[in-house]
Amino acid sequence: MKNLLGSSVKDLENVALDYGQDAFRGRQIYNWIYNYRNKKKNIDQIEVLPLDFRKKLKDDGFKLSELSIQERNLANDGTLKLLLSTDDNESIECVGIPTEKRLTACLSSQVGCPMDCKFCATGKEGLKRSLKASEILDQILFIENEMNRKVTNIVFMGMGEPLLNIDDLLLSIRSINNDFRISQRKITVSTVAVPKMICKLSAKSFQILGNCQFTLAISLHASNQKIRESIIPSAKNYEIKNIIEDCKKFVRDTGRRVSFEYLMLKGINDKLEHANELSNLMKGFQCHVNLIQYNQIDEVEFKRTSLNNLELFQSRLIKNGIAVSSRKSRGLDKNAACGQLRQNAKNK
């Protein structure tokens, strides 16, 4: 254990004891790490610790952070997008989305993404590697430091496919619960859906977390298999009907409803016939559809559907008895699309 971020109180007490310090020194480290007002990221800057203890920790390679800010983009609506550099010179994105009562952190789970969704900027360069739990957690602290307020909600909707980094995902969720004091019920894990991994997610959640109370969000984006394969190449390995069956099992196993993300793409999936198809898929179990306005990017041909089309689509779902909401895009004036800030930085 070299990066102390993600460590429990007990872990840090043991570190202190190993160096001949009293256990309370470990508690001091813990309180320093998870206090968003402490913007200093180096071991030797933990001012409450004795100088010789700090020096020994630093000399032995202990860290508080492996990330640094490469670029900040603040949108007119207050949304903050950060481009962060890793120790191995890769780049990841995270986003702080504020409202009056909450601050949502949108986190990345990988550097790049292997899924190659045609509407997304992140997958254009493929997957570089998965993030460690400490790198996931550090994104929260950077958002809190920069926005000077506590994060209240977490969405794993940034770069990467979370279910392909499931162990570090769940370790980070454990720390988010225990150390950042954010309830699982305020966490959403978004996935394109990977065969066998939805069942694995619920099983491993009970093993690592003791329960499974977060929201599972499936990036469905289509009402039938043909359309889904045309915009998500990996979909050919996982039929929609099988995704739905695995989601029904997730609901039975966890008691938590599943959310289905549906990106409204002009002329692709936004017709009323698609709304009817989607309704037929969703019937019969505890779920919710979230319609999303598309953040257009220059590299692809997809366009945002009209607001009128979105409203008609939503009305049809409601008429068909489907729980549905619509999500407006945030940060549109500042590289809002996932992976766009990273891509632009590479092109400079």
Q: Write out the DSSP string of 158-183.
A: SSS-GGGGHHHHHHHHHHHHHTS---
Q: Which fold is adopted by the domain 9-59?
A: DNA polymerase; domain 1 (1.10.150)
Match domain 68-347 to its CATH number in 3.20.20.70, 3.60.110.10, 3.40.50.720, 3.90.550.10. 3.20.20.70
* 348 residues of the chain, pLDDT tens digit each: 589 999 999 999 999 999 999 999 999 999 999 998 888 889 999 999 999 999 999 999 999 999 999 999 999 999 999 999 999 999 999 999 999 999 999 999 999 999 988 888 777 778 999 999 999 999 999 999 999 999 999 999 999 999 999 999 999 999 999 999 999 999 999 999 999 999 999 999 999 999 999 999 999 999 999 999 999 999 999 999 999 999 999 999 999 999 999 999 999 999 999 999 999 999 989 999 999 998 877 667 789 999 999 999 999 999 999 999 997 766 555 555 555 555 555 555
Q: Which residues are within 8 A (CB) of 146 and not within 5 positions of it... i.e. 6 or more apart?
A: 69, 72, 80, 82, 96
Core vs surface per residue 99-116: b (16+ CB within 10 A) or e = eeeebbbbbbbbbbbebe
What count of residues does the chain have?
A: 348
CA distance 139 to 84: 8
Q: Where exactly does CATH 1.10.150 map onto the chain?
A: 9-59
- Return the pLDDT at 258: 98
Burial of residue 305, with CB atoms counted within 10 A of its CB: 0-12 exposed, 13-18 middle, 19 or more buried: buried
* Six token digits for residue 281: 């898929």
84 within 8 A of 72, measured Cβ to Cβ:
no
Secondary structure (3-state) at 140: helix
Spatial CA neighbour of 299 closest among 339, 327, 329, 268? 339
* Six token digits for residue 324: 């549905």
Q: Where exactly does CATH 3.20.20.70 map onto the chain?
A: 68-347
Main-chain dihedrals φ then ψ at residue 261, nearest 5 degrees: -80, 135
CA distance 216 to 190: 6
- Return the pLDDT at 212: 97
For the CA atoms of 343, 103, 10, 65, what is the dihedral angle to 10 degrees?
Answer: 30
Q: Write out the DSSP string of 230-251.
A: HH-GGGGGS-HHHHHHHHHHHH
Would you please indicate which residues are annotated as catalytic (active-site) residues? 93, 338
CA distance 268 to 222: 9
Q: What is the CA radius of gyration of the chain?
A: 21
Residue with tokens 């939503």: 314
CA distance 46 to 331: 34
CA distance 8 to 250: 29
- Return the pLDDT at 71: 96
- Return the pLDDT at 124: 76
Q: Write out the DSSP string of 26-81.
A: HHHHHHHHT-TT----SGGG-TTS-HHHHHHHHHTT-BS-S-EEEEEEE-TTS-EE
* Six token digits for residue 178: 């225990």
CA distance 46 to 227: 54
- Return the pLDDT at 132: 97
